[in-house]
Each structure stands twice: as structure tokens, then as C-alpha cells.
Structure 1
Amino acid sequence: MVMEDDWDIKDPDDERRPSIPEIKIPPMAGVILRGAGIVLAILIIFSVVFGSIFVSIGAGEVGVKFSQFGGVQDDELGEGLHIVPPWVSVTKYSVRSEVYTMSARTSEGEVVGDDQINALTNEGLTLGLDISVRYRLVSEDASVVHKNLGTGYAEKIIRPTIKSVIREVVSRNTAMEVYGEQRELVATEMREEMEAALLEDGIIVEEVLLRNVRLPEKVADAIESKLQADQEAQRMVFVKQKEQLEAERKIIEANGAANATIVRATGEAEALRLINAELAKNPKLINYKYIQMLDGQEVQTLIVPADQGIILDATN
């Protein structure tokens, strides 16, 4: 009896199962996939050996490239994901608006402690100033800043420029001009001079805030007294104007009353003239007025002039 090999035994269900079609990859596609795999493997090896070659630049940032073979490169990296060679390192810089503050308060400012700027006015008075400068780095000049100043450019160039410009501008003004109503004009002058000094270094000055001005104690007292005197003078002017308006009102009121009296007197005189004219025409009219006046009243005795005769019958 011939025994069949177990591997040759066919399962009856095999004929009912659907056959899986064979996928054929074109030769060219296979070459491309193998090449991509090799490149990816090489990149991974380089990343492990030399560091990551993938660099992500965030929003409001710019990347400055430094090559081990060529130094700082001029073409900055913008926002997004970039692939750089392993021998190139990238330093990120913020191009958003930043604020540099110098203040007497220890809780604020870039330097811990009293960092207020002291400056002399053209009168020789020493003022203490709290300053905040809003600035931003020009993205196209980030490589120049990195080459010339480095990441600590704020301390290297912005801080000394702020001090120099503040003292220069204050020296051309009086204490009252810096402290008083012209403060905004002085701050604008400071911003313009700072911008002119820092623009060549790739930094734009957007705003200068002159936040607080500390005067010498005697000057502060004198200014306070002057302000109080000015306020008192303004109050007296107001009182004088008020009294003048009140006097004018009384004059107008008196003129109105006088005019009313004249009109009333004129009317009364005209009324008397008309009455006298009527009496001259009819002398008996006065007797008629007496009768009208006594109408409805209980009169028992009436005294009349002797020449008027009896005008009422007392017996009736």
C-alpha cells in the first residue's frame, strides 16, 4: 500500500479559500524606496553621532547658522522646521518686541536692586529717572548681531546706549521740562536718538517710556509750592469771574425791574388820563362808580360831599 506524504495531503477547504494576489513592485520604485531608506538611515546615524540635523524655529524667532567650516552664515532661518548639515549649529533669536527696564524698584528691571538712571539737567540739578525701552531685533540683521554682539546684546549695546542718550537729552533740558508737561516731548527726543544709535546694530527702538522722575527734595518742594500757587491763582480767577457774572446778572435784573416799573407807571398814568378825560365829559360818572362800589353791601349811613346832593333814598 502506497502511503501519501502528510505534506501532500490537500485540505478540501483550500479550494474554497480565495487566493491572495501577488503584489509586484516595479523595479524603479524598488530602487527609489531602497535609496530613500539608505538616506534616512544615514541621517539617523549622523543625528546620533553629531547631534540633531532637524531644527525647529518657533513663532517670533529667527535662526542664525554657524558653520564649523565657514563661520556665521548670512542666510537666517525663518519660522518652521529646517534640515541643516551636522557641522552647522543654529542659535535662535527673538524678533518680537522686548522691553528693557531700568528702575529704582528692586522688583522690576533687568538688574536686581536700584538701577535708576541719574542725570544732570542744564541747571546742574540731579534727576533720577525710571526708564523702559521697547525694542526689537531686525530679523535680517540677526546674523550681524550674532557675529558682533552675541546673545547678550541687550547688556552689551542696549543698556549703555540707554544711559548715554538719557543723560545727553536731560543735559539739554530743565528739571521742569523733564518733570512737567513737556515730558512726552523729552521722551520722544530720547527715542529718536536711541533709534539712530542702535539701528546700525540691527535694533529698532519702538518706544521710550519715561515712567518716573525723582527730583531733589528742595526742588520738589519748590515745584509743589508753585503748583499750589498756580492752583490758588486759578481759583481766584474763577471766583472773580463768578463774582463778575453775578454782578452782571444783578445789573440785568435791576434794569429789568426798572423797566417794569416804568412800564407800570406809564400804564397807570395813561389810565388816570383816560379817567380824567371821561370825568370831564360826564361829571355824574363818579356817582355811578359810587353806586357800583356799594352794590351788594349793607350800608346804613353814607357821608358824601355837600355839593353832591342825596344820591340814595335812605327811607326806602
Structure 2
Amino acid sequence: MVVEGEWEPEPPRRAPDFPIKEIPPIMVKVFRSIAVVFVILIIFSVMFGSIFVSVGAGEVGVKFNQFGGVEDDELGEGLHIVPPWVSVTKYSVRSETYTMSGVTDEGQIVGDDQIKALTVEGLTLGLDITVRYRVIPDEASNVHQNLGTNYAEKIIRPTIRSSIREVVSTKTALQVYGEERQLVAGEMLTNIDNALGSDGIIVEEVLVRNVVLPTRVAEAIEAKLQADQDAQRMIFVKEKEQLEAERKIIEANGIANATIAKAHGEAEALGIINEQLAKNPNLINYKYIEMLQGQEIQTMLVPTDQGIILDASK
């Protein structure tokens, strides 16, 4: 019963009746399975280590299965999910360098690490060498299985030293030290690449950065190189002088030909003049008078046998 004048609360509002679609039972099972798997992965990650592996740029990941050993399929760049019983070792597939030098702290080994090699003459040379190489991505699992992460010291270093000595043993000191150094470096590159190719490593470049010769040999080679340069300079000077002589001969021939041509022209002109004078002897008097016109002449001498050539009565 409501008394007049008393406040009566409004009845609660009803939500609009919209049809709500029920989630299919199959989807509920799928979501539930995904959640269970996710929880299991988290538990395994906590118990055995992370199952998420990130492989950076310029790297590949080599998988080691605790139950089967090294697996052949390498992991590329990016984020990967691996089972907890699989560990991943990352290898760089970018260009790397290995340097052996006589300068302290310049190479991988501290101290004098210069390669000593004998030439075909039996002379000992010291060589500072830098080799640029990289691991073949598809062969990283073989590198990991056969050589391990310390492959640079295990295989690259001894292979470089052995290959360098093998090439130098077939060359003279002048070939290694002089203008053929790049050719010798090319042979070293081929030799090292052939040796390391079967191990999954590509050699990209060999730099012969410095060659140290015995003092007396260095002086002899320097003297020979200087003599060769002097000989080349003399050949250049001789060729230059020969070209200058040939130029002067050509110039003299040109002047002589011009003089001869001029003489021929003058002779022909005189011949024509004589021919005309023979036909008309008075022509010379006419030319003489024509030359005198316009000139102030007070006295003039003429041949007595020519008669009067000017009319004095006018």
C-alpha cells in the first residue's frame, strides 16, 4: 500500500534482450587445450631452462638433442621454440678475420706471431698475414660436431700456417716481396680455401700485409728494384728522344717540301713571265711605269737604248 505523498522507488531497469550466441563446445576444448599446453611449456621452461631461442642477425643456431646428438637443420635468424631437451649453440656466419703478425696485440695471439717460411732459395722470410673467412650456414652443424666452437684455433690457424709455407717454398724471395706479391697471395687463397672447404669454411681473402727479408737480401733486392726502375727510366728517355728526333725529321721534311714547292712555283711564274716578254717586249716598260706611278721622283736613270718612255711635252 502506498500512501499519497510518499516516495516510491523506481523498479529496476531490465537489460535489453539481445540474443547471446553460445560458444561452440569444440572451441571451448581448443582454447582449453591451448591454455594447458601453454602452462606446460611455462613449467618446462622454469624447470629445464628457456624454450625460446633468439638467433641474431648474421648467426645460425645449431641444435643438440640430448637424446639424438647434433641435428642437421640449423636455426635461422629470429625467435624459435625448441624442446627443453634441445640446447642451441650460435655460430656467426659473417666474415671473420684471423691475423698472424709480428706486431704485439695486432693478431689473435699476443706477441710475435709472424709466420716464418723458407723460399725456394732457402731464405727465411717473415710474413704478416690476415685471412678473411666465414662459416657456411648449412655446414654450421658439421663445424659444431667435428670442430667445436674453438674451430679458429683448432683448424683455421694451423691450416693457414701450413698453406702459407707450402706456397712460399715454391717462390723466390723477390716474387714474394716484389711485384708478384698479389699473385702469390692469390695462390695462398686457393690453397687455404681448398684445405678448409671440406670443413664447412669459405676463405674470402688473403692479405700479405708485410714481408720481412734478411738484411743482406733486402738490400740486394732493393738495389735490383732500383736498377730495374733506372733501366725503365732510361728506356723511357730513349723512346722520348727518338720520338723527338722523328718529329724534327718530319718537321724538316715539311720545310724542305715547302721550299721546293715554293721554288717550283716561282720557276713556273718566271717561265710564264719570260714567255710573255718574248711575245711582247714592251711589257716590261709598262710594268716599270706602273711601278713608278704615285712616287715623287726628281731624277730617273733609264737605259739609253730604250728611248723616251715618258712624254715630256705634256
Using the size of structure 1 for normalisation, the TM-score is 0.84
Match of 2:300 among 293, 298, 302: 302
Shift of residue 128, structure 1, vs aligned partner: 2.0
Q: In 1, distance between residues paired with 2:83 and 2:265? A: 113
After superposition, the Cα gap between the structure-2 partners of 1:103 and 1:279, relative to the gap in structure 1 and judged at 3 Å, is same
Structure 1 portions without partners, runs of 5+: 2-9
What does residue 93 of structure 1 align with?
Answer: 91
List per-residue Cα deviations over 1:258-287 (Å, max 9, x = no partner).
223323333333333344444444444443
Q: In 1, distance between residues paired with 2:80 and 2:27? A: 27
Shift of residue 19, structure 1, vs aligned partner: 6.2
Greater Cα offset, 92-101 or 73-82: 73-82
Q: In 2, distance between residues paired with 1:285 and 1:99? A: 101
What does residue 258 of structure 1 align with?
Answer: 256
After superposition, the Cα gap between the structure-2 partners of 1:22 and 1:248, relative to the gap in structure 1 and judged at 3 Å, is closer
Shift of residue 151, structure 1, vs aligned partner: 0.8
Q: In 1, distance between residues paired with 2:203 and 2:113? A: 20
What does residue 104 of structure 2 align with?
Answer: 106
Name the SS of the counterpart of 2:254 in structure 1.
helix
What does residue 7 of structure 1 align with?
Answer: none
Q: In 2, distance between residues paired with 1:119 and 1:11? A: 107
Greater Cα offset, 216-225 or 39-48: 216-225
Match of 1:134 among 124, 132, 135: 132
The 5-angstrom pairing of residues 130-209 of structure 1 reads 130-209=128-207
Shift of residue 129, structure 1, vs aligned partner: 1.8
Q: In 2, distance between residues paired with 1:284 and 1:39? A: 137
* Matching residue's letter, 1:88: V
After superposition, the Cα gap between the structure-2 partners of 1:293 and 1:19, relative to the gap in structure 1 and judged at 3 Å, is closer
List per-residue Cα deviations over 1:212-245 (Å, max 9, x = no partner).
3233333333233222222222222222222222
Match of 1:239 among 237, 241, 245: 237
Shift of residue 23, structure 1, vs aligned partner: 6.9
Q: In 1, distance between residues paired with 2:206 and 2:176? A: 14
Q: In 2, distance between residues paired with 1:189 and 1:277? A: 86
Q: In 1, distance between residues paired with 2:33 and 2:118? A: 72
After superposition, the Cα gap between the structure-2 partners of 1:125 and 1:12, relative to the gap in structure 1 and judged at 3 Å, is same
* Matching residue's letter, 2:257: N
* Matching residue's letter, 1:185: L
Shift of residue 112, structure 1, vs aligned partner: 2.8
Using the size of structure 2 for normalisation, the TM-score is 0.84
Shift of residue 122, structure 1, vs aligned partner: 0.7
Q: In 1, distance between residues paired with 2:46 and 2:310? A: 145
What does residue 43 of structure 1 align with?
Answer: 41
Shift of residue 247, structure 1, vs aligned partner: 1.9
List per-residue Cα deviations over 1:15-55 (Å, max 9, x = no partner).
35546877744444334333333332222222112211222
Q: In 1, distance between residues paired with 2:67 and 2:26? A: 37
Name the SS of the counterpart of 2:149 in structure 1.
coil
* Matching residue's letter, 1:39: V
Name the SS of the counterpart of 1:187 in structure 2.
helix
What does residue 4 of structure 2 align with?
Answer: none
What does residue 52 of structure 1 align with?
Answer: 50
What does residue 4 of structure 1 align with?
Answer: none
* Matching residue's letter, 2:203: V
After superposition, the Cα gap between the structure-2 partners of 1:81 and 1:262, relative to the gap in structure 1 and judged at 3 Å, is closer
What does residue 5 of structure 2 align with?
Answer: none
Aligned-pair identity in percent equals 71
Shift of residue 169, structure 1, vs aligned partner: 0.8
Shift of residue 152, structure 1, vs aligned partner: 0.7
After superposition, the Cα gap between the structure-2 partners of 1:275 and 1:21, relative to the gap in structure 1 and judged at 3 Å, is closer
* TM-align CA RMSD: 2.8
Q: In 2, distance between residues paired with 1:97 and 1:72? A: 24
Shift of residue 189, structure 1, vs aligned partner: 1.8
**Within the alignment, does 1:61 sit opposite 2:59 as a pair?**
yes
The 5-angstrom pairing of residues 24-35 of structure 1 reads 24-35=22-33
Shift of residue 155, structure 1, vs aligned partner: 0.8
Name the SS of the counterpart of 1:12 in structure 2.
coil
Q: In 2, distance between residues paired with 1:85 and 1:289? A: 125
